[in-house]
Amino acid sequence: MSALLFDTSVYIPILRDENFARAFRPRYLRGLPLTYCSSVVIEELLAGVRTLRHRRQAAVSYAYRQCGMTSLANRSIERLIMA
């Protein structure tokens, strides 16, 4: 089975719209084991976040991704969605 890659255009509404985030959670959790979070998405999240908490979580994801720890980067992004 191939990996999933969600674009930043999915993550930003999750951060900004609680209703969208709540509706998207089941879909994200279903695909989490196959989800790949690219460094480009994390960079764009860093540029687009509005709160300090979101900035910190995106920065942690970036650090994990840069170290090759993609599963930890995915878990960090999951925290953004589950917030």
For residues 24-43, one letter each, b for 16 or more C-beta atoms within 10 angstroms of the residue's C-beta and e for the rest, the string is beeebeeeeeebebeeebbe
Q: Return the pLDDT at 68.
A: 64
Q: Return the pLDDT at 23.
A: 92
Q: Return the pLDDT at 60.
A: 72
Q: Return the pLDDT at 82.
A: 65
pTM: 0.63
Q: Return the pLDDT at 81.
A: 64
SS3 46: helix
Asked if residues 39 and 58 have their Cβ atoms less than 8 Å apart, the reply is no
Q: Return the pLDDT at 74.
A: 67
**Within 13 Å, how many C-alpha atoms sit on residue 20's CB side?**
10
Which residue stretches of the chain have pLDDT < 50? none
